[in-house]
Amino acid sequence: MDAVRMHAASPESRAIVDSVLDYSRRRMLSDDVPLDKPQSPAELRRLAGRTITDDGLGAQRALSVFEHILAPACLTTSHPLYLSFIPTAPTIAAMAFDLVVSASGLYGGSWLEGAGAVHAENEVLSFLAGEFGLPDTAGGVFVQGGTIGNLSALVAARETAREKLVAAGRPAPARWKIVCSIEAHSSNKSAAKVMDAEVVAVPAGADGVLRADAVRAALEEHGDAVCAVVATAGSTNFGIVDDIAGIAALKDEFDFWLHIDGAYGLTAALAPEAKPIFAGVERADSLIVDPHKWLFAPFDCCALIYRDPDGGRRAHTQHAEYLDTLTDTEDFSPSDYSIQLTRRPRGLPLWFSLATYGVEAYRQAVSATIALTHRIAEEIDRRDGFTLVRDPQLSVVVFERDGWSRADYDRWSADLLDAQHAFVVPSSHAGRPNTRFAILNPLTTFDELVAILDTMG
């Protein structure tokens, strides 16, 4: 039977596994993985043809289509010269263990089904919580990405605020409000939309930093309707960290849930020289950080951590008769702490990598990328015809080529990618076009960055 053929061990199955592992081995260990670039839908249809058929292509042909047609039409986000958006740079150990996670048939939603995996993930979450100054009782879950992490945390914040009002005999507001910077990541606005909550967008300073006085005014104006304040620990566009310490100090006067959106930047707290930037994060009620960004894990992996995990559990535990065997116990089941039920143990590749290389290797890698960012910023600042938009704080440097229009940046960016030199896309700030280097990969070098600058004339 074909159904058995697809799952049972057989000579055909062994050949499939060997082929896939051989390709994975070559890809992971290659020193010259290409940057690659997208193709049009018409071109991909022409090259790949029809791949889903009644009889199947066979493993060798399907793998060949992927290796020679589909994969080259996908940008390699872990390439040292992928410098746009926020890159990824998973370690060899993390990539290799990602295969183990899939091969082992692991489910990471409950303690009953995945106790060993959950234990390892929780060790990583405890390590991160300790790095950020949260108490030993802090905990949470690895979710798909920052958008899911922010949404889950803000839902927990809303439910906690509702519980407090009910306990005090006060009515819930007609619509909950979330206070954040006008420069906060779009995922926070998306979360508010899903929650039917209102975003109170507070102006940041000219340097992009959200400060306590602006947050205070919003808290005074909106009162009990505020279910959460979001502070950003490393904005995506500039890598700017809000005044977390000042905002956290407001908790002495106001009762609010403080959520730290550290998806990109909070990893920098592992570097001793950057840790003071994040003062105040230890007072957070929840936070997120994405290991698939700067903690060298594969996609898709976001650590969501609660100061008091019970708040997350009360907000997210799903109840159904078939789940009674899980919800009637006190076991730590990760699915109780976010909006998802089914989940793979996506924190395991990070666990294996940390266990393999040790924390100090991570600290050094993060420090190296911060140092490289500041070094290339100095190079940009000293060059005639170049202007730094802001001095970098973490590992993003934004700059302008004087006199260039958006069309100039577009042509330059397209030429870089066509030549397989680098992936650097245009950006903008305050209506002015610019570009940026997002430097997270320890394999990126100063000379490579200088060579990119040289292409700008």
Q: Are the C-beta atoms of residues 269 and 232 closer than 8 Å to each other?
A: no
Q: 278 and 198: one domain?
A: yes
Label residue 331 by pLDDT band (50, 70, 90): confident
pLDDT higher than 70, residue 201: yes
The 3-state DSSP class for residue 82 equals strand
Q: Are the C-beta atoms of residues 363 and 270 closer than 8 Å to each other?
A: yes
The reply to whether 91 falls in a domain is: no
Q: 293 and 410: one domain?
A: no
The reply to whether 249 falls in a domain is: yes
φ/ψ of 422, rounded to 5, equals: -170, 165
The reply to whether 87 falls in a domain is: no
* 382's tokens: 């000293």
Q: 261 and 329: one domain?
A: yes
Cβ neighbour number for residue 177 with a 10 Å cutoff: 21
The reply to whether 15 falls in a domain is: yes
pLDDT higher than 70, residue 378: yes
d(CA 214, CA 202) in angstroms, rounded, equals 6
Residue found by looking up tokens 């290339």 in the block: 376
pLDDT higher than 80, residue 76: yes
Q: 351 and 364: one domain?
A: no
Residue found by looking up tokens 């992928």 in the block: 82
Q: 33 and 143: one domain?
A: no
pLDDT, tens digit (0-9, with 9 covering 90-100), for 397-426: 999 999 999 999 999 999 999 999 999 999
Label residue 319 by pLDDT band (50, 70, 90): confident
| Angle in degrees, 0-180, between the axes of helices 359-382 and 348-357, rounded to the nearest 10 | 90
Q: 39 and 174: one domain?
A: no
DSSP 26-38: HHHH-S-------
Q: What separation, in Å, do the N-terminal and C-terminal C-alpha atoms of the chain show?
A: 64
* 423's tokens: 């992936």
Q: 221 and 296: one domain?
A: yes
Instruction: Give start and end residues of each alpha helix (H) in 285-384.
Output: 291-294, 309-316, 324-327, 348-357, 359-382
Q: Output the pLDDT for position 324.
A: 63
* 91's tokens: 């370690």
The reply to whether 67 falls in a domain is: yes
The reply to whether 89 falls in a domain is: no
Q: Which residue type occupies 172?
A: A
pTM score of the predicted model:
0.95
Q: 257 and 337: one domain?
A: yes
Q: Which of 314, 331, 356 is the last residue of a domain?
A: 356
Q: 392 and 262: one domain?
A: no
Q: Which of 302, 321, 356 is the last residue of a domain?
A: 356
pLDDT, tens digit (0-9, with 9 covering 90-100), for 78-89: 999 999 999 999
Lowest model confidence (mean pLDDT) among 7-11, 294-298, 371-375: 7-11
Q: Which domain holds residue 49?
A: 2-73
* 111's tokens: 């303690």
d(CA 282, CA 303) in angstroms, rounded, equals 16
Tally of structural domains, the chain: 3
Lowest model confidence (mean pLDDT) among 141-150, 316-325, 395-404: 316-325
Cβ neighbour number for residue 298 with a 10 Å cutoff: 22
pLDDT higher than 90, residue 318: no
Q: Output the pLDDT for position 232.
A: 97
Q: Which of 324, 356, 388 is the last residue of a domain?
A: 356
Q: 401 and 294: one domain?
A: no
pLDDT higher than 90, residue 278: yes
Which CATH number belongs to the domain containing residue 408 in this structure? 3.90.1150.10
User: What does each C-alpha distance from 277 to 125, 135, 213, 233, 422 come to in angstroms?
Assistant: 21, 20, 18, 9, 31
Q: Output the pLDDT for position 6.
A: 67
Label residue 320 by pLDDT band (50, 70, 90): confident
Q: 304 and 261: one domain?
A: yes
Q: 68 and 113: one domain?
A: no
Is the C-alpha dihedral spanning 140, 142, 148, 150 positive or negative?
positive
Which CATH number belongs to the domain containing residue 244 in this structure? 3.40.640.10
The reply to whether 94 falls in a domain is: no
Q: Are the C-beta atoms of residues 406 and 426 closer than 8 Å to each other?
A: yes
Q: Output the pLDDT for position 1.
A: 46
The reply to whether 84 falls in a domain is: no
